[in-house]
Amino acid sequence: MADTQLLSTVLASEELPTLPTVASKLITLTSREDTTLSDIAALISQDISLSAKILKVANSAFYSFPQQIGSIKQAVSILGTNAVRSLVLSFSFLSIRDGSQKSRFDFATFWERSLAAAVASKLILEKVKGADTEEVFISGLLQNLGELIFARTFHEKYENVIEAVADSQHDLVAAEESLLGANHMSIGYAVAKHWSFPEALLAPLRYHHDPAAYPGKDQKILATIKAVYLSDLLINILFSTKPEDYHKQFRKEAKALLGLTNEDIEDILEKVHISVAQAGDYFGLKVKHTKSIQEILQEANIRLSLLNLDYDQMNKQLIAAKIELENLTRELERKNKILNNLAHVDGLTEVYNHRYFQNALDREINRSIRQDATLSLLLIDIDNFKEFNDTYGHQSGDSVLQQFAALLKASLRKYDTLARYGGEEFAVILPATEQEAALLVAEKLREKIDTTIFTVETDEHHITASIGVSTARPGIEDTFSKSDLISRSDQALYEAKKQGRNRVCLWGPKKKWFQL
C-alpha cells in the first residue's frame, strides 16, 4: 500500500485531478441501497453535455442495441447502473489533460494507451462465459491511474522515473518504488478509495499487474482483474518495440488465466485495432492510425531477419520484404473491408443493420441541416409475421425476409438507405425528399409488396406490409431530434396497423393522420 505520508501529500496537492461533480455524486448515489434508476437518471440529466455523450455511445456499435435509446432514464434501465456509472467515469477521466507544469510525461499517449487497454479488456472479457462485462471498460481505462497521479502531483520526481525507464535502468514499477517509495498500483488504489470507488473498480487498480495476489473470493472481480492484466500485454503488442515477445506471452497467459481458445485469441487479435479506432470516435479521443497486429508482427520479423545481413543481402531482403509487406497490406485492407461489412450489414437480409441505420440517419440529418433540405423516413413492418412464422416455420420466415429485403432494395434509389430495423421491421431514409414524394415512394413499395408472390421451395405466399412515414426539415425545427423523427414514423406505422394494415400512414402534428 501507499505510504501514509506520501498519500497525504498526493491528496493535498493542487495538481491532483478532481472528479467532476456529477461523477462524484454518482459514486455516492450508487453506493446506497435505496437509490432508484430515476435518481441516477435525474442526476446525470443535469449535465446536458455528458448526457449527450452517453446517449451517443449507448446508440453506437459499442453496445449495438437493436432499439434507439432516447433518454438517460432509458439508458440506465437498458444498460444497467454499473455500465452507466462506467460511462460517466470514462468521460470524466478522459477529459483530464496536462497539469500546469510542462512534463516529459505524454498525457496524450497515456490516454491513447489507456483507451486501447479499455477496449482490449472488454474484448477479452466478452470471451469469458458468464463474466460481468459492465465495468471492465472503466477498469481497463483506469488501470494506470496512479501514473497520471504521480505525473501531476510529483512532477519533478516522476521526471526522474521516466528518465530511469528510458535509460533501461529499471522497469516502471521498480523505478517508481525506488525513486518515490510506492508504485502506481498502490497510489491509484489509495486515491480511488479516497474517492469512494466501489470494490469492483478498486481491485483491478490494485492487482492488475499480479492477479494471483488478489485476496478476495469474488470470481467476477477476479475475472475482470485477469482481463485487465491481459489487456496490458495486448496493448504492448501495439505500442512496444518488442511486439513479438508480448504476443507470445499474451497467447500463453490468455489460455492459462481465462481458458481462452485459439479461436477466441485470434478473434481478439484481429479486431483490437479496429475497435480501438472506433472507441476513439465514440469517446471523442483522437487515436493515431493503429496498424493491425498481424502487420506489426510482420514488420518485427522483417527487422529481426535484417540484423545479421551484409549490405547486398540486406538490400535484397528489403526489396523482398517491401513487396511482401505491400501484399500483406492489400490483404489486410481486403479483410478490413470484410470486417467493416460484417459490422454494418445484416447477416440474413444483406441490407444495412440497425447500427448502420443510426449512424446513417445522423449523417443525413446533419446534411439536411447544412443544405436546409427536407428529410423523410419510412418504417415498414410486415403484417402478421409472427403468425406466418408460427404457421410455416422460421426457415420459411427467413426466406421471405430475404426476398422482402431484396424487393425493397431493388425499388429504391441508390442514395436511399435501406436497413433492417429489427425483426420484420425495416427502415428507409429518403434524403432530400418532400412529403408528397415520400408518400409516393411508400405507396409504390406497399403496392409492390402486395402484388408480389414470395416463393419458398414449392410454396407460394402472399404478404402485406404497413408503412409509417414522417418528413422533417431539421434545419428549421428548433427542438428537432433524431429520436423525434423515428418516433413520428413509428407512430404513423402504429396508426397504419390500427387502421387495418396493408396501408401507408403519414405522421402529422397534433396526431392528424393522413392515409393512402
* Cα→Cα distances 401→41, 183, 442, Å: 38, 58, 18
Separation CA 105–CA 102 (nearest Å): 9
Separation CA 69–CA 77 (nearest Å): 10
Q: pLDDT digit string (tens) for 340-368?
A: 666 788 888 989 998 889 888 988 998 88
Domain ranges of the chain: 18-95, 105-282, 295-344, 354-515
| pLDDT in the model for residue 100 | 57
pLDDT at 512 over 60: no
| pLDDT in the model for residue 506 | 94
* Residue 344, helix vs strand vs coil: helix
155 contacts 101 by C-beta, under 8 angstroms: yes
pLDDT at 310 over 70: no
* Residue 373 burial class via C-beta count within 10 angstroms: exposed 0-12, middle 13-18, buried 19 and up: middle
| pLDDT in the model for residue 306 | 60
Q: pLDDT digit string (tens) for 139-178?
A: 999 999 989 889 888 888 888 888 888 877 668 888 888 8
Residue count (the chain): 516
Contacts of 273 (CB under 8 A, 6+ apart): 238, 290, 291, 292, 293
pLDDT at 304 over 80: no
DSSP symbols for 395-439: HHHHHHHHHHHHHHHHHS-TTSEEEEEETTEEEEEEET--HHHHH
Q: What percent of the chain has pLDDT over 90?
A: 40
Distance between start and end Cα atoms, the chain: 72
pTM comes to: 0.61
Contacts of 402 (CB under 8 A, 6+ apart): 348, 349, 350
Is there a common fold for 105-282 and 354-515?
no
Outline where 306-375 has alpha helix (H): 311-344, 354-371
H or E element: which one contains 504? Answer: strand 504-506
| pLDDT in the model for residue 342 | 60
Query: With b meaning 16 or more CB within 10 Å and e meaning fewer, what string describes 41-62?
Result: bebbeebeebbebbbbbbbbbb
504 contacts 481 by C-beta, under 8 angstroms: no
Closest C-alpha to 185, from 222, 145, 225: 145
- For the chain, the C-alpha Rg in angstroms (whole number) is 27
231 contacts 238 by C-beta, under 8 angstroms: no
Closest C-alpha to 96, from 48, 144, 31, 41: 144
Assign residue 432 a region: left if phi > 0, alpha if psi is -120 to 50, beta otherwise? left
Q: pLDDT digit string (tens) for 410-465?
A: 999 888 999 999 889 999 999 999 999 999 999 999 999 999 999 998 899 999 99
| pLDDT in the model for residue 466 | 96
Cell of 233: 500485454
H or E element: which one contains 57? Answer: helix 48-58
pLDDT at 1 over 80: no
pLDDT at 468 over 90: yes
Bridge-based pairing state of the strands 375-382 and 425-431 = antiparallel
Read off the pLDDT band of 99 (50, 70, 90). Answer: low
pLDDT at 42 over 70: yes
| pLDDT in the model for residue 514 | 52
CATH architecture assignment, domain 105-282: Orthogonal Bundle (1.10)
How many other CB atoms are there within 10 angstroms of residue 463's CB atom?
Answer: 19
H or E element: which one contains 25? Answer: helix 21-30
Q: Report helix angle 145-153 to 4-12, nearest 10.
A: 70
Residue 432 φ/ψ, nearest 5 degrees: 50, 45
Separation CA 314–CA 302 (nearest Å): 10
DSSP symbols for 146-203: HHHHHHHHSHHHHHHHHHHHHTTSS-HHHHHHHHHSS-HHHHHHHHHHHTT--HHHHH
224 contacts 248 by C-beta, under 8 angstroms: no
With residues binned 3-state (H G I as helix, E B as strand, rest as coil), the percentages for the chain, rounded to 5, are 65, 10, 30
Question: What would the mean pLDDT of 225-242 be, rounded to a whole number?
Answer: 91
* Cα→Cα distances 126→269, 271, 396, Å: 14, 13, 32
pLDDT at 313 over 70: no
CATH match of 354-515 with 3.30.70.270: yes
Q: Which 3-state string (H, E, C) describes 459-496?
A: EEECCCEEEEEEEECCCCCCCCCHHHHHHHHHHHHHHH
